[in-house]
Amino acid sequence: MNVVTVKTKEEMSATASKLIVDKLRQKPELVLGVATGGTPIGTYEEFVDRVKQEELDVSSMRTVNLDEYVGLPRDHEESYWHYIYTHLYKPLKLPVENAFVPDGLSRDLEAECNRYEEAIESLGGVDLQLLGVGRNGHIGFNEPGTPMDSRTHVVELTESTRQANARFFNDIEEVPTQAITVGISTIMKSRSILLLASGQEKCAAVEALLDGKVDIEWPVTILNGHPDVTLIVTEDAYCSDKEDDHA
């Protein structure tokens, strides 16, 4: 694992965006796995700026969302389809057919999960998966205890997750109770993984990861078994007393 320690969240975003741009130069038809939430917003902003400044052609890039709420239409401002459209597709004027997002309105959610797995496979898999990590070590909506061999599946959102996401809604009652999320084994099939962690509240999750052991109660630790992971972590989230010898 390549561990890159930075001082600020802004530096984390700039470093991550450069890595994505480098991958895009190597492969213009890059399949990018995209995370949502607050952590990667700065990365998307930096990426958009770099693409515009360097006049890069991103028209062949495809994106694969990690997750989507069940019950929210695409045009809902808190849907994750709307999120990636707002932060990536709209500013870069990308063709929306290049955005792959689970259908949270599907009448058959199990079939939708299978369809989404097949869609990822039809793209040839994810080249670079961008991830954030929850304070309890969750990746995507894969909470502690999620089987490490899980594929795309429907999850019941925990009360703590709904509380954490309530800030994006008018009231916690508006926060969906379910979501579709890419499973842990599907994440592990990505050719490269870029994990972002910032803030003191992520300290325990980062420590668990850098301990080097795989623990089902800390889903992020599964990344210890992946051959190509880069962790970009701010100093306030990097609480381990170990040296950066995890590469």
Segments in 80-234 forming alpha helices (H) = 80-84, 90-92, 109-122, 159-165, 184-188, 203-210
Select the CATH number that applies to the domain covering 2-234 from these four: 3.40.50.720, 2.40.40.20, 3.40.50.1360, 3.40.50.300.
3.40.50.1360
Q: What is the pLDDT at residue 244?
A: 45
Q: How many CA atoms lie within 13 A of 149 on its CB side?
A: 0
Show which residues are catalytic. Answer: 67, 136, 138, 143
As beta bridge partners, residue 77 has none
Burial of 177: CB neighbours in 10 Å, binned 0-12, 13-18, 19+? middle
Q: What is the pLDDT at residue 240?
A: 54
Q: What is the pLDDT at residue 242?
A: 46
Q: What is the pLDDT at residue 171?
A: 80
Burial of 215: CB neighbours in 10 Å, binned 0-12, 13-18, 19+? middle
Burial of 93: CB neighbours in 10 Å, binned 0-12, 13-18, 19+? exposed
Burial of 73: CB neighbours in 10 Å, binned 0-12, 13-18, 19+? exposed
What DSSP assignment string belongs to 140-167? TTB-TT--TT--SEEEEPPHHHHHHHGG
Element (H, E) at 229: strand 229-234
Per-residue pLDDT tens listing for the chain (247 residues): 999 999 999 999 999 999 999 999 999 999 999 999 889 999 999 999 999 999 999 999 999 999 999 999 999 998 999 999 999 999 999 999 999 999 999 999 999 999 999 999 999 999 999 999 988 999 999 999 999 999 999 999 888 778 777 777 888 888 888 999 999 999 999 999 999 999 999 999 999 999 999 999 999 999 999 999 999 999 999 775 544 433 3
Report field, pTM of the whole predicted structure over 0.85: yes
CB 23 within 8 A of CB 126: no
CB 150 within 8 A of CB 184: yes
